[in-house]
Structure 1
Amino acid sequence: MTSIPLSIPPHFHPKKVSEVWRVPYQQRAAEARNWARQNNIQPAAKDQTKICLLAIDVQNTFCLHDFELFVGGKTGTGAIEDNIRLCEFIYRNLGIITSIAPTLDTHSALQIFHPIFWVNQSGEHPTPSATNITLEDVKTGQWKVNPNLAASLTNGDYQRLEKHAFHYVKKLSDEGKYPLTVWPYHSMLGGIGHALVSAVEEAIFFHSIARHTQTFFEIKGNNPLTENYSVLRPEVLDSHDGEPIDQKNTKLIHKLLEFDKIVIAGQAKSHCVAWTIDDLLTEILAIDANLTKKVYLLEDCTSPVVVPGIIDFTEQADAAFTRFADAGMHLVSSTQPLETWPDISIY
């Protein structure tokens, strides 16, 4: 039987979590097989309690200094500290985490939340991170859709693109969501920022080999006409004429709910993590409120968006997690042994 918790494999170095490097797959695969033998780690298919770790957007663009949207949190080094703990959590619980599902925020240049999408009367683009585009801004023409994008996004139909943009910000306002934030170009498909943090990628690969289980990656955010903070659902599902532009991720929702336990970590606590959990809660409440007890939130493996002097979402993030706990989900620490978590039985 696998000992709990396991020791940390010797290849893991916390100081390297803040760096980008190539994972030596073949070497790690051999080490993972040996590690499994030494620690009597069984294939995941034999798990009696099926546990899924949902790792949300643990990508360079959010998790490393000098990248586009580093989530520093209150400490200024939040995502790096979170990922050290996340890697250690994976290694210590290698023998009992059945599956790992990393989500990947995935963007191209021409998207509704990137600067190029919008222009003012002088033809200037908004300043990223410092600009929220409200319904009033669009009504008054302070910000309008860049007409040069219509050829790429709506087959040259600029009027349709304008109507969609107005509908979009109105829908956000009507539903009480965050206003449309213009973000720096980030998580660009094919770029280094899109990749998982190297140390986390290594831990996930090591887990896959040691447990003979496929990592299932989830792409989100590649629709140019909507934001996609949550991996389960884009912010807006339709256009001005009622035509669908996207849909919720029913396949992933069903897959997650098939597990006995769901553990959630990642970035950022105030945005993609909170939005995903909120959508998961909505789905659970529509089925059986008692299912909230199968969800565990790793509070020490996630941080809120904080841009000193500009924005601080700490209060909103904490309020969201309190609401999730009140609904029945569990707030836990990565350093707390899983067998001591509430409502859980490993064997």
Structure 2
Amino acid sequence: MTAKTQLPTPDYFDTKKVSKVWRVPYQERAAEAKEWAEEYSIQPATSDTNQICLLIIDAQNTFCLPEFELFVGGRSGSGAVDDNLRLCEFIYRNLNAITTIAPTMDTHTAMQIFHPIFWINEAGEHPLPAATSITLEDVQQGIWKVNPAVAHSIANGNYSALQKHALHYVKKLSEDGKYPLTIWPYHSMLGGIGHALVSAVEEAIFFHSIARNSQALFEIKGGNPLTENYSVLRPEVLDGPDGNSIAHKNASFIDKLLGFDAIIIAGQAKSHCVAWTIDDLLTEILARDRKLAKKVYLLEDCTSPVVVPGVVDFTEQADAAFQRFAAAGMNVVKSTQLILDD
């Protein structure tokens, strides 16, 4: 990527609104995007010599706004808000060079393996969200067991099979070196406002789509009730206790990403969905051609780790993961340093 003249930020972009929820005025922005493209001689994305994809992981209200369920504050306490401000500015500055924007959408319903209602103890209590990790020993000893009442909704009433799966699941996480099963607050609920993209990010993506005649590549993840799905490229566990498949890696999306000349990655959270997605992408790269790692750019100032003050801090794990990615050949950069070439 070589130096080029960057674009200004449109006058409508209000940095103070990045932390708010509001309706994007689509028709107005569409007209402005057409005018912007004409004023700055922005060509359709199909004319790009270098095909560049901006992969935005889970820039949703549920993770990115302080009053929502799983706000990623990082150690600063304002992490995701600051990240999205820089991300929006990056999109606008490089509007004429970003070919495609691919936003991922964490998508859940109530009864999933990482939500409180899925589990119950002898006292009939559900685990406390964000403060409970369910280990293999917990399930083996019956400290936590599957809530019998959910079997009808997600296992056709077969409770024993569901309990067998739960034991297999936590065992598999342990064997594969994954994070223990964390019980999260209900979040990214399908149909809810928390599921929506942050308004300012949605606006920037929409503006890009119109100005560049480039459809955003939305990728949905996380709807399987039997497994977590931090990474957009594959669920945490792919098979059940009988060896039969319960999920698949996202092969078509992996191929699509690796078909670009450059892949730029931002989003939330650095310690979980971002790190896991990059890790899975690196696994695919190493299986094909390790030189492909050089075309991956990680915007380290547009992502933050999960930090729950007094409970858990994943900053060190997130930083260690990024160091490992850099050692493999990926580029860890700041959004203000990365200048794209159209």
Q: How does 1:307-322 map to 2 (within 5 A)?
A: 307-322=308-323
SS of alignment partner, residue 272 of structure 2: helix
Q: In structure 2, give the amino acid aligned to 1:111.
A: Q
Partner of 1:274: 275
Q: In structure 1, give the amino acid aligned to 2:245.
A: P
Partner of 2:43: 42
Deviations 1:220-274 (A, max 9, x none): 0000000000000000001111111110000100000000000000000000000
Q: Is the 8 A contact 1:3 1:39 kept in 2?
A: no
**Aligned-CA RMSD value:** 0.9
Q: How does 1:15-164 map to 2 (within 5 A)?
A: 15-164=16-165
CA distance in 1 between counterparts of 2:20 and 2:159 reads 43
Q: Which 4+ residue blocks in structure 1 deviate beyond 4 angstroms?
A: none
SS of alignment partner, residue 149 of structure 1: helix
SS of alignment partner, residue 18 of structure 2: helix
Q: Is the 8 A contact 2:151 2:158 kept in 1?
A: yes
Partner of 2:324: 323
CA distance in 2 between counterparts of 1:103 and 1:291 reads 22
SS of alignment partner, residue 8 of structure 2: coil
CA distance in 2 between counterparts of 1:258 and 1:8 reads 29
Q: How far did 1:73 drift?
A: 0.2
Q: In structure 1, give the amino acid aligned to 2:329.
A: G
CA distance in 2 between counterparts of 1:273 and 1:176 reads 17
Q: In structure 2, give the amino acid aligned to 1:9.
A: P
Q: Is the 8 A contact 1:64 1:70 kept in 2?
A: yes
CA distance in 2 between counterparts of 1:189 and 1:107 reads 6
SS of alignment partner, residue 116 of structure 1: helix
CA distance in 1 between counterparts of 2:7 and 2:205 reads 15
Query: Is the counterpart of residue 8 in structure 1 residue 9 in structure 2?
Result: yes
CA distance in 2 between counterparts of 1:159 and 1:282 reads 35
Q: In structure 1, give the amino acid aligned to 2:40.
A: N
Q: Is the 8 A contact 2:4 2:339 kept in 1?
A: no
SS of alignment partner, residue 174 of structure 2: helix
Q: In structure 2, give the amino acid aligned to 1:208.
A: S
Deviations 1:78-130 (A, max 9, x none): 00000000000000000000000000000000000000000000110000000
Query: Is the counterpart of residue 182 in structure 1 residue 183 in structure 2?
Result: yes
Q: How far did 1:4 drift?
A: 2.3
CA distance in 1 between counterparts of 2:272 and 2:195 reads 17
Q: How far did 1:337 drift?
A: 4.2
Q: How far did 1:173 drift?
A: 0.5
Structure 2 unpaired stretches of 5+: none
SS of alignment partner, residue 132 of structure 1: strand
The number of aligned residues is 340
Q: How far did 1:336 drift?
A: 1.3
CA distance in 2 between counterparts of 1:337 and 1:129 reads 35
Q: In structure 2, give the amino acid aligned to 1:257.
A: L
Partner of 1:332: 333
Q: Is the 8 A contact 1:111 1:225 kept in 2?
A: yes
Q: Once the two structures are aligned, what percentage of the paired residues are identical?
A: 72
Structure 1 unpaired stretches of 5+: 340-345
Deviations 1:9-54 (A, max 9, x none): 0010110000000000000000000000001101000000000000
SS of alignment partner, residue 103 of structure 1: strand
Partner of 1:262: 263
Q: How far did 1:75 drift?
A: 0.3
Partner of 1:210: 211
Q: Tell me whether 2-11 or 56-65 shows the greater mean CA deviation.
A: 2-11
Q: Is the 8 A contact 1:229 1:235 kept in 2?
A: yes
Partner of 1:342: none
Q: In structure 1, give the amino acid aligned to 2:50.
A: T
Q: How far did 1:3 drift?
A: 6.3
CA distance in 2 between counterparts of 1:329 and 1:198 reads 30
Partner of 1:241: 242
CA distance in 2 between counterparts of 1:82 and 1:193 reads 18
Q: How far did 1:324 drift?
A: 0.1
Instruction: Using structure 2 for the length normalisation, give the TM-score.
Output: 0.98
Q: Is the 8 A contact 1:4 1:93 kept in 2?
A: no
